[in-house]
Chain A
Amino acid sequence: MRKKNIPYAILFLVLLLGGCIMLVPFVWMILSSFKSNLEIISSTSILPKAPSVEGYVTVFRDAPFVRWLMNSLGTSVLITLGTLFTSALAGYIFAKFNFRGKQALFVVLLGTMMIPFQVVMVPTYLIISKLGLLNNLMAVVVPSLVSAYGVFLSRQAVEAIPYEVIESARMDGSGEFRTFWQIILPQITAMLSALGIFTFMAAWNNYLWPLIVLNDNEKMTVPLALVFFNSKNTVNYNVEMSAGVLIMIPVFIVFLIFQKHFIKGLTMTGMK
């Protein structure tokens, strides 16, 4: 027994060390956020010599950070709910119904997952502009309401539900939408929560697209803070680090709360 314990202990310690190394950049970010800009640029000490909250003060003073926080929250929630709804509904239809062109449609859907965002960025901008949505938070929300990835995952999850369950619901005379809402949704909550967290994180962290379609400072979202304080000729490292801390905290909290569901959901996506 003791012989076996030594390699086990080594394994454990190595993994723990690895895990701690993964956290180093975050610690570095937090430490840097309490340094002054000059200290980050010129000093060679790891710990802040003269701790200051100057970076945080600048974030709140020079930018409507609370407004941005609300904008981010609003758009991310809308995108998440929209994506969950459209994904689950389309996934259900692709999994359990037959209609002409279904296969072809599904392949096209999957194909769009391979498209680099750079390819579609300008055309999408022009479309949004034609729709008159520029400089409107809806421009961030609308293009993200349907996710090919989400439809794909939902179809996999719904396929696992036996036909009998649906049939028995129909026997009870429940309409198609009610079947979907009451019978299908509860069966795929694990997958949906993973997709939900994933979508929320992606929406919360997205910066390139909001940067291009939103103009007014009042309308910007939180990740723009990262570029807002970065400029070509003057780098405000401490402000960026503070903004980084403030952006990451909400995502970490959401993740830690929903972690269990998330892992469970991911388990299913990976396996199917």
Chain B
Amino acid sequence: MSKVLTLYRQYRLDRRFIFLSLTPILLLFLIFSIAPIVWGIILGFYQYSALYQESPFIWFDNFTNLLKDEVFVKSFWNTFKFVGIAFPINIVATLILSLGINKIRSTFWRNTLRTMFFLPTIAPLSGSAIIWSTMYKNDGGLFNMILERLGLDTVPWLSDPSIAMWSVVLMTLWADIGFNIVIFMAGLDSIPVQFYEAARLDGASRYVVFWKMTLPLLQRTTLFVTVMTLISYFQMFPQFQVMTNGEPQNATMVLALNIYSNAFQYNNMGYASAMATVLLLIIMVITLAQIRLGRSKWEY
């Protein structure tokens, strides 16, 4: 009897604790996360600008206009182009680099190398973008100065439509590969040494060890890294705004930047919200697909 009573009392206490601590947190969350999102999505159905006195409800007009808008279509594909180039390079490069750094025997050098690769990720992206735009300058920029000294032709890094996107990708990789390297290294560290010894005793080649053992054991790390990287790459913004602002000929106009310019430059908040909803859907579909995929592999 008394045991039931204690359990009941504990239950009451639990309730009270949950209620008291979760309410303020959820309230903040509701006001500053949920409400703006819902509000934002609803705006997509209005011809809304914060400046206007009236904002007519226009059903799906914003969305149908998107399909006719060349800049939107271009920014849609540019986003995929950017992610399509930067994402695989990021994952492959960080995996290789972390495998390499992990092979270094001296702890000091291992840590130092990791720090060197990680440092760019803690600098503000907008600041890094300014640094890089001065390095990319046509004359007087670091890259072209080096090319000139080597007697090579200079490259219009940010003003040639076929090169600009690659320049932004390069800067982005510099700015954020450190993060994934650290996480991959942590993943590698957690694989027990005995596994490798056993594999060596079995006479497995390095190639086999990597594909059949290391990679499958890194599954969880890889899932985390790919999901986080994809989400952030689809939303990438500061370097596009600072370095190119979508130019030349909209070759670097990505969705995030297009949303921003429509909302704050062209005063077309409703239209921008419709665009943002599309971006949201893209990110959601891809993330869910990834998690689904990752899970089925796990179980297997």
Which residues of A pack against B, CB within 8 Å?
8, 11-12, 14-16, 18-20, 22-26, 28-29, 32, 40-44, 46, 86, 89-90, 93, 97, 99, 105, 108-109, 111-124, 126-127, 142-143, 145-146, 148, 170, 175-177, 201, 204-205, 207-208, 223, 226-227, 230, 237, 240-241, 244, 247-248, 251-252, 255-256, 259, 263, 266-272
Is A266's CB under 8 angstroms from B183's CB?
yes
Is A148's CB under 8 angstroms from B126's CB?
no
Is B183's CB under 8 angstroms from A270's CB?
yes
Closest 8 pairs (CB-CB, A-B): A19-B116, A267-B186, A205-B124, A120-B36, A123-B36, A270-B183, A123-B39, A176-B17
For residue B226, give the distance in angstroms from its CB to the closest CB of chain A.
12
List 15 A–B pairs whose Cβ atoms lie within 8 Å, in order of A's numbering.
A86-B25, A97-B18, A116-B234, A116-B280, A118-B237, A119-B280, A122-B43, A127-B31, A127-B35, A143-B32, A146-B25, A146-B28, A175-B13, A266-B186, A270-B184
Give chain A residues whose Cβ lies under 8 Å from the Cβ of B40: 119-120, 122-123
Give chain B residues whose Cβ lies under 8 Å from the Cβ of A109: 29
Having A28-B134, A93-B21, A252-B119, one finds 20 other A-B pairs with CB under 8 Å, namely: A14-B100, A22-B174, A32-B131, A44-B145, A93-B17, A93-B18, A97-B17, A105-B26, A122-B269, A126-B39, A142-B32, A146-B33, A176-B17, A205-B124, A205-B125, A248-B123, A251-B122, A255-B122, A267-B190, A271-B190
Q: Is B273 an interface residue (CB 8 A)?
A: yes
Is B235's CB under 8 angstroms from A116's CB?
yes
Closest partner residue, chain B, to A245 (CB atom): B127
Is B148's CB under 8 angstroms from A248's CB?
no
Q: Is B91 an interface residue (CB 8 A)?
A: no
Q: Is B159 an interface residue (CB 8 A)?
A: no
Tally of chain B residues near chain A (CB < 8 A): 87
Give chain B residues whose Cβ lies under 8 Å from the Cβ of A90: 21-22, 25
Q: Is B97 an interface residue (CB 8 A)?
A: yes
Cα distance A226–B239 when bound, in Å? 13
For residue B79, give the distance in angstroms from its CB to the closest CB of chain A.
11
Contact with A along B133-177 (1 / 0, CB 8 A): 011000110100100100000000000000000000000001000
Cα distance A117–B135 when bound, in Å? 28
Cα distance A111–B277 when bound, in Å? 13
Give chain A residues whose Cβ lies under 8 Å from the Cβ of B50: 122, 126
Give chain B residues whose Cβ lies under 8 Å from the Cβ of A111: 284
> Which of B60-68, B207-215, B217-225 interfaces with chain A?
B217-225
Is B126's CB under 8 angstroms from A112's CB?
no
Is B276's CB under 8 angstroms from A116's CB?
yes
Is B18's CB under 8 angstroms from A112's CB?
no
Cα distance A205–B123 when bound, in Å? 7
Q: Is B14 an interface residue (CB 8 A)?
A: yes
Known: A142-B28, A267-B186. A15 touches B101 (CB 8 A): yes
> Which of B82-90, B197-205, B256-264 interfaces with chain A?
B256-264
Q: Which of B13, B32, B37 has the most CB of A within 10 A?
A: B32
Closest partner residue, chain A, to B29 (CB atom): A146
Which of A18, A24, A97, A99 sits near B97, CB closer than 8 Å? A18
Give chain A residues whose Cβ lies under 8 Å from the Cβ of B55: none
Cα distance A90–B279 when bound, in Å? 29
Is B279's CB under 8 angstroms from A116's CB?
yes
Q: Is B128 an interface residue (CB 8 A)?
A: yes
Give chain A residues whose Cβ lies under 8 Å from the Cβ of B294: none
Cα distance A270–B152 when bound, in Å? 43
Cα distance A79–B283 when bound, in Å? 27
Is A118's CB under 8 angstroms from B260's CB?
yes
Known: A22-B174, A112-B34. A259 touches B115 (CB 8 A): yes
Contact with A along B57-75 (1 / 0, CB 8 A): 0000000000000000000
For residue B41, give the distance in angstroms from its CB to the closest CB of chain A.
8
Cα distance A123–B250 when bound, in Å? 28
Q: Is B113 an interface residue (CB 8 A)?
A: yes
Which of B22, B116, B135 sits near A23, CB closer than 8 Å? B116
Known: A90-B25, A119-B276, A122-B50. A97 touches B32 (CB 8 A): no
For residue A258, give the distance in angstroms from its CB to the closest CB of chain B.
11
Cα distance A86–B22 when bound, in Å? 9
Which of B18, B100, B103 sits near A99, CB closer than 8 Å? B18
